[in-house]
Copies of this chain bind each other. A is one copy, B any other.
């Protein structure tokens, strides 16, 4: 029994080249001896590694964990490894420290500005500007905002305050547009960082106006928590005096009182879809840009205006 035969059989290329009973014998022996083809030798011979890089932002919100999980599961199912690479927010487009030859492709999440300088490696972006020169798998933020707008419109709201996360120029614009389309001329916007204290301050400014909005639309659940604090400071009841909505549906949403009306994002599915797209790209196919719909979750923080 020659080494070549074993290699052919175990690679599944035995069709018409190796007699079925011999195939059986090979598999049998391999199982009995616990033999597994040496990975390093195979990589050397084939010039492949079946490994992709996962670039992760340092800011570790609860959404990212879910994204990694989804991505890693798909990769494992296809026999790929996933190498982690933390990417500090302030880092420029510096190349990865991880040796690029150890990697076949890159899956990057929330890279601000859509930086894509990974040499010639195939890249798929998650949660990034779709104008970037790489396939992009995104949450459908516009659709989510439209769902929120429709919900508030149905309740009878007319004056909307928008607490906008200003970290990302692309979503800043998309979210603003979606809201402005639904409530033309009656949206006041205030930019804020994704941070409870900053959001509280921003919300106070919106609520201090003479034409106080009856609902605050927040780009993130954390921002909504800041809005809650502002409302309490002004002695405004939620949802009696003021409706508030969030975005993401992280655990915080149900921990708040009253529980937050928000949009649930399919984070794990985003990771899985993006990894699938990357593996397609490695196969030479061209994956389609995809937008994953969130789901409006109506809880107790929205009601008709006073």
Interface residues of A (CB under 8 A from B): 36, 38-41, 43-44, 47, 49, 51, 54, 56, 58, 60-62, 64-66, 68-69, 72-73, 76, 81-86, 97-99, 101-102, 196-197, 222, 225-226, 228-229, 232, 251-252, 254-257
Q: Name the distance in Å between A48's Cβ and chain B's nearest Cβ.
A: 9
- 4 smallest CB-CB distances across A and B, nearest first, come from A60-B65, A225-B255, A40-B43, A40-B44
> How far is it, in angstroms, between the C-alpha of A256 and the C-alpha of B86 when the chains are bound?
29
Q: Name the distance in Å between A117's Cβ and chain B's nearest Cβ.
A: 16
Knowing A76-B97, A84-B72 are in contact, say whether A40-B36 is a contact too (CB < 8 A): no
Contact between B228 and A197, CB atoms less than 8 A apart: no
Copies of this chain held together in the complex? 2
Helix, strand, loop or mixed for chain A's interface? helix
Q: Name the distance in Å between A202's Cβ and chain B's nearest Cβ.
A: 15
> How far is it, in angstroms, between the C-alpha of A38 and the C-alpha of B225 when the chains are bound?
51
Most B CB atoms within 10 A — which of A68, A69, A222?
A: A69
CB-nearest residue of chain B relative to A232?
A: B257
Contact between A39 and B196, CB atoms less than 8 A apart: no
Knowing A36-B101, A40-B47 are in contact, say whether A60-B58 is a contact too (CB < 8 A): no
